[in-house]
């Protein structure tokens, strides 16, 4: 139990620090690499919460596929000139700083209330909820109709994209 908490707080610290470092980098490639570190630490957080399937899908989809696309776009745009990336302090920046301060104030308030609030016990089947078998069983029994509707919508989107991309043949 104490080991899980240590790992959880370590991964949370890595996630928070990599997110801050991602925002503070001037080089977009370094920023993307810190974002990948953030994705891996979030995947580890999912593992500590016993959501194995979500953790693996998160790492495969976000750290794998999405970040390859982001790095490809960064390299394609060739954002090497730092003068184009500079931003002046505007009204939006001050609003963002104010919202961040409000968020951190709320976070410290919640952490201060930790000792006064009772901890909720885990569900008896918490170990099984994050597994592929459990998600598959729920998806193909309880949520079968929404799953099928989603698959039909995706099929319609694919057919529409192919029809729009199809070149017109001159007659």
Residues 140, 116 share a domain: no
- Measure the CA–CA gap between 129 and 86, rounded to whole angstroms: 46
Residues 50, 118 share a domain: yes
Residues 169, 151 share a domain: yes
CA 34 distance to own-chain centroid: 13
The pLDDT tens digits for 75-92 are: 777 655 555 555 667 888
pLDDT of residue 134: 85
The pLDDT tens digits for 18-66 are: 999 999 988 888 888 898 899 999 999 998 888 888 888 888 888 888 8
Taking each helix axis from N to C terminus, what angle separates 67-77 and 28-48, rounded to the nearest 10 degrees?
170
Angle of CA points 151, 55, 3, to nearest 5°: 155
Domain count, the chain: 2
Domain of 67? 2-123
């Amino acid at each position: 139990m104490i080991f899980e908490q240590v790992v959880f707080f370590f991964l949370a610290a890595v996630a928070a620090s990599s997110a801050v470092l991602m925002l503070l980098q001037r080089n977009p490639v370094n920023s993307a690499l810190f974002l990948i570190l953030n994705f891996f630490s979030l995947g580890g957080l999912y593992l500590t919460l016993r959501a194995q399937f979500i953790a693996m899908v998160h790492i495969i989809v976000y750290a794998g596929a999405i970040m390859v696309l982001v790095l490809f776009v960064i390299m394609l745009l060739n954002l090497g000139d730092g003068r184009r990336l500079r931003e002046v302090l505007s009204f939006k920046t001050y609003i963002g700083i104010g919202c961040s301060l409000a968020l951190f104030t709320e976070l410290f308030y919640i952490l201060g209330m930790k000792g006064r609030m009772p901890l909720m016990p885990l569900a008896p089947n918490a170990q099984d909820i994050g597994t592929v078998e459990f998600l598959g069983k729920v998806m193909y029994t309880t949520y079968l109709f929404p799953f099928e509707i989603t698959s039909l919508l995706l099929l319609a989107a694919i057919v529409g994209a192919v029809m729009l991309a199809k070149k017109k043949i001159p007659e």
